[in-house]
Structure 1
Amino acid sequence: GLGDIEAFPFVEPPDRRQVKDGVNLLHELGAFDAQGKLTGVGRRLASLPVDPRLGRMVLEAEKNGCLREVMVIASALSIQDPRERPSDKQQQADEKHRRFADPESDFMAYLNLWHYLRDKQKELSSGAFRRLCKAEFLNYLRVREWQDIYSQVRQALGVQTDSSPADSHQVHVSLLVGLLSHIGVKDVMDKQRASDGRRPMQEYIGARNARFAIFPGSALAKKQPQWVMSAELVETSRLWARVNAKIEPDWVEPLAQHLVKRTYSEPHWEKNQGAVIALEKVTLYGVPLVVGRKVNYGRIDPDLSRELFIRHALVEGDWDTHHRFLKDNRKLLEEVEELENRARRRDILVDDEALYDFYDQRVPADVVSARHFDSWWKQARQEQPELLTFSPEMLVNEGADISARDYPDTWKQLGQRMKLTYQFEPGANADGVTVHVPLQVLNQVNSDGFDWQIPGLREDLITALIRSLPKHLRRNFVPAPNYAKQVLAGVRQGGEPLLEAVERELLRLTGVRVPHDAWQLDQVPDHLRITYRVIDERKRTVAEDKDLDALKRRLAPRLRKTLSEAGDDLERTGLRSWSFGTLPKVFEQGRMKGYPALVDAGDSVSIKIFETQAEQRRAHWPGTRRLLLLNVTNPARSLLGGLSNQAKLALSRSPHGGAVALFDDVVNAAVDKLMLDLGGPAWDPVGFDRLYQHVRADLHDTAADVLAKVEQILSVWHAVGTRLDGLRASASTDDVRDQLGRLVFDGFVTATGTRRLSDLLRYLRAIERRLTKLPEEPWRDEEWMDRVHKVEDDYADLLRHLHPARRGDPDVTEIRWMIEELRVSFFAQTLGTPTPV
């Protein structure tokens, strides 16, 4: 090495800053290593008769195969420029020198000039060559000096130069090695106007934040490149760059590995790379060579890279991989996330830190990327295949107090198993629980049980119901959540509606009775009300609603069409006899279920498949009746012929609008009575034949009996109407008119049934008694009427809350007749009632 420069006994020691600058330059050129020791390059530089920068260019050129060209340029740079520019002949000199210019490199001008002079020396005598130099504004002595230095350098290197021309790129790369601190990049944010004000002057940012401009005499002055290197920077009125060439920044970095500074920002996981990537910035003496280059961050900061790999690839699953444990873990996470959605909570699943800790404790410290992980896991899974697999217990927070059983996947009803889905999205139409009802089974599903909700939301539902009560009732059940919990502990989902169970339990707990109409169901949050989503055979949504009955009504035409298409072989029209074998009570095709029935079509009957058993019952009885009447003799004419004039007069006052309609009503009621004798409608040819024989034999006599009762009913009905017309209008008379309209109407005989015709006559006679007493005790009549109206209102409320299919059930219609008996007990007690009311 050079030894300790500061310890050398200089006669006049140099300035320390100059020594430092010199050492820094030698380090830049690669003559010193990082410890300040002389390198092989430094030893070779010491033997060259040129400036170290120029010598370094020559040594690099030797490696790059452009030694001759770079020696020429380096030799030129070591002397004063041989091109002269006399003040009185500047234009002529510029024109002569312009022949050698290169638009992208002043260095190449030296090479072009060298070739020109070499050729002329061969052509001309010594004197002629001197005159040529003078004429073309070239200093002959400097040219000779240039050639001498070239020879000395070549001799010092002891090489024979290649005569073939070198690549311009390699030439400039070789020059760049000696000019690493003389590069510059355009300052795009700053343009200054030249002193003469004619055009903007572009500044360059150089090493150590130096700012310079390209000298006007440079070939690059007009079309200034983005990046330049300069042979020298001269300070006059400003810092000027002389002898310049265009370069590319990617030439610099490989040559300045020992000088550049690298900084990294925005380390982040990239799934496609399977690694943590950062943005690299490379600077040389403050000049940015590379900005925003993506590099693998694992080599730079393995600890952070490992953390990001675990968080993103393993915890978040942002990684395309085939590893089974990740799929299994993701499935478990989705199950717990789904449980959170179902429970409408965000405190069940453990947080990402818990998952990170799980992997952090198991994944080795040197695993920083997907490639590293794959290599490690290939061996580790052979010994511990479940090492990285979650357990369900570790994913649920302690104290979550939740059971997946309370949030089932399916809802069972009448043999149907329907899918349940959950949505935790307040404001969405389907927020909450959704039951997926296949269109083909929609007719088999009813709302029974859905009012109880799923077990996991039942307590919230009861709480919301209590809060929906009017204040005077609600204050008896405060705090509502506590009462909801107690109610839930005391009820069990069964056959009764939820509201009835809650009412009964609140009464038991507090002694306070909640009227059924006090519940304000519209105040219950939507997510606590089941959404019914009807789907087709391809699982596509057909329609959805919170109201199942409304949904059924909306889709009834489509469902009927579906049933009709499925039962095309069964449905028929224009039937006048039982010619179709046994009629099944249930039609099934796949999951679809329908209910066939005979339908009265007037002059014939049809077979049609209905959606519900209630519709089947309502259609099949009159359909069977019609088929019987089509096959027996109608007794209407013979009955009419046997009537007295008084009977004819009574019957003529019926609400039917004519004798034909009245006799049809009587005959229909008679057939119904005969069908009832044998247990109801038929479903096969044998059963129908039994009905047919019975009706054919007894229809005339039965119809005559019915007609006799109807005659009495109409006589009393007419008398009541006449008396009513003679009374002053009042609330009581209005009530009587309403009652009469419910008892006697077009079709009342069949609707009432033969069994109740005697009761109907009694009800009319009770009205007679009421009207007789009304003028004497109107206040008492109103009192009894109000009591009856209260019962009627309760009955109307019951009908409103009942499923439409149940409103015609015998136990429900019986209440209507019990109300009539109640009227008898109030207004005509002496007539008596069959049972206590």
Structure 2
Amino acid sequence: MLRERVILGRQLQGIERKIRSKKGGPDAQRHLVDLEKKALAAQKIRQNRSQDRPRLIFPEQLPITAKQSEIIQAIRENQVVIISGETGCGKSTQIPKMCLAADRGLDGKIGCTQPRRIAAITISQRIAEELGQELGQSVGYKIRFRDKTNPQAYIKIMTDGMLLAETQADPKLYEYDTLIIDEAHERSLNVDFLLGIIKTLLKSRPELKLIITSATLDTEKFSEAFAKAPVIKVGGRLFPVEVEYWPLDPEKEEAGELTYIDLAVKAVERLQNRPDRGDILIFMPTEQDILETCERLEGRQYPGTFILPLYARLPASQQGRVYQVKGRKIVVATNVAETSLTIPGIKYVIDTGLARISQYLPRTRTTSLPISPISQSSANQRKGRCGRVQNGVCIRLYAEEDYLARPLFTMPEILRSNLAEVILRMIFLGLGAVAKFPFIDPPSPKSVKDGYDLLLELGAIAWTGQEHILTDQGRAMARMPLDPRISRMMLAAQKEGCVPETAVIAAALSIQDPRERPLEKAAQADQVHAPFRDPQSDFITLLNVWNHYHHTWLRLKTQNKMRRFCKDYFLSFNRMREWIYIHEQIMHILKEQHLDAGQRKTREITPALYAGVHRSILSGFLNNIALKKEKNLFQATKGREVTIFPGSGLFNKNADWIVAAEMVQTSRLFARTVAKIESVWLEELGAGLCKSSYTAPHWEKKRGEVRALEQVTLFGLVIVAGRSVSYGRIDPVESQRIFVQAALVEGQVNETLPFLKYNQELLAQVEKMEEKVRRRHLRADDATLAEFYRQRLAGILDLRSLKKLIKDRGVDEFLRMQEQDL
């Protein structure tokens, strides 16, 4: 295998060096014999692997089988091959076998990545079945917390995150002689990271082969990125698919009378009346939508029909039911079924045209997960789920004009991601500088700088003078797949003991404000929202909204009633659901990291809890503090002036210091979602970012030391003014000068020092002599006296250290002057 070959090669080089230097002797010869035995054993293993390869069969009904010879030949002749084929053409299951047919998998495994766990499991099971073997023999899979791969396996299917994690222990990926990056068109961060890493590996590992597969025709970028690698295009659908548009009535949707769930359920009902019934696949954007749709469909009790949910977090046993049930089925899925899985027997696809797509908000420097319209390519992927075994029908619950107006492809995740999060992960994985990394779509230098700046502000990284390194805090943040501001808040909340409250607020900051205020009903909305409003903190206002919503949910317990509740209280039902979803994600991540998530119960906001919550918020939004200038006008960081947004609970209220979740530029710069804070919190939270300046250094007789007035600024704002501090550690040279002059030359001390009393008496005698002989300038000047002490008191800056020095020496003779000194 490759790893053994590398080890043998290094050992051989070591023996050759010894022989050349004539230091080897008989030992070198013995080592050479041992090495030869190991090499022959490795060769035998390779021969056995070649002979023991499982028998390969390629199903004729799959479109990719028609390209079998062309693909095998391309893999043999090229280091990189790109294969474009519609979903369902057989790429995921057949390409690993074609690699085996091309004599790959003999020197190392054939590794194949999938974007989701469910795909890694089902694809490995399918390949094993086609090879006539048990899973875990020639084919295995590896997902988080589970590895079902035999060391002697030929094919290993894994999530892209697992392969990325393996680069830590095996940077050259010697376990593999071939890598397949499947579903590369999704352009997730993991995929882009892996493609960049493998691109750098190809030069040092000429024997490594890379196959990139895409379910869309957007393959030119991949080809260009890999030196114009050949592209093989594979046909997909076997039967025609008719597209029907059944758009949602926007007025009814706005009024809360009809939702995409209602429309999907109605579509199923209409399909029931068609003579040519078949299996149905419904695409929904969220897990909650899936569960509600399944519940409503089950209530209709269609005879002989299975209603099956399908989403990434569903247990594997339940996910597998889509392949196992015998009879008609209606599958309700997220976009996990868009490309990762091919569900057999689907005749009808019902597409809401929606999905959760992560979005970075530069204004707030946070990441949200809104429900957004999908791209044309994603819509076409969904359409392609039917038409495999018979003519298909795709029903789109949106207008054709809407479809045509959508972008052709989904934007790569790196271009809609917080680069602070990307950089944090890259440093954690040891991938080097962002600017030098071979991304297919490189981010802009401005975005990269902003990412580094934010991580420095959050205390996640430190600059050594040569490179950025992770702090202990940064390592903990990197292990949490959250926006860095949110992970920083949650770490602070752990320390402050306020995780439940901070998690709710953190989730709220990742969505648009759920409160609505239509112009024609502004007064009514304000009146309804008034009980939620906290006079000191808009963050607590959001917490009050959350608590009221959840107490009501426990009482009403149905979506329709909650929709009515939201309408009555001028809350966006969709945003409330998004808020709940993100909150669940945060809590799930905390549990994964074995962090205490606290108890989910409503607590009274005491002064101590208020302080803890807002210190946690500050830890993530320290750059958004501001100091009052006049009424609602505040001096913000970096020279900005901001006005509290009129809709804030703090508008026209008394607050000297505030923190804001966002600064929004419209007619002027507004601070939105703000809270009153205490300036005393800022110095500790901004420790490494604070800058101190010192004025008026002076001797303090009472304290017996030199002190100065300190001013502390954070992002240009004065957070501490005129604080008296010891000056010795700040400027030792100036402190000693002031100490010697004031305490020893001028004698400004509160206690008797024998040597000083002696010197003063001697000085008095010299002054008397001056008067007696009527001559001036016999006595040494102050500068000479000061120099006498300085020469003998190196590093001594105050009375305490002076007395310790005398005690350590046992005498003070070294400080007593003689007549010639004066």
| TM-score bracket for the superposition, by shorter chain length | 0.3 to 0.5
* TM-score (structure 1 length as normaliser): 0.44
* TM-score (structure 2 length as normaliser): 0.44
Structure holding more strand per residue: 2
Larger radius of gyration: 1
Higher RCO by CA contacts (8 Å cutoff, separation 6 or greater): 2
Structure holding more helix per residue: 1
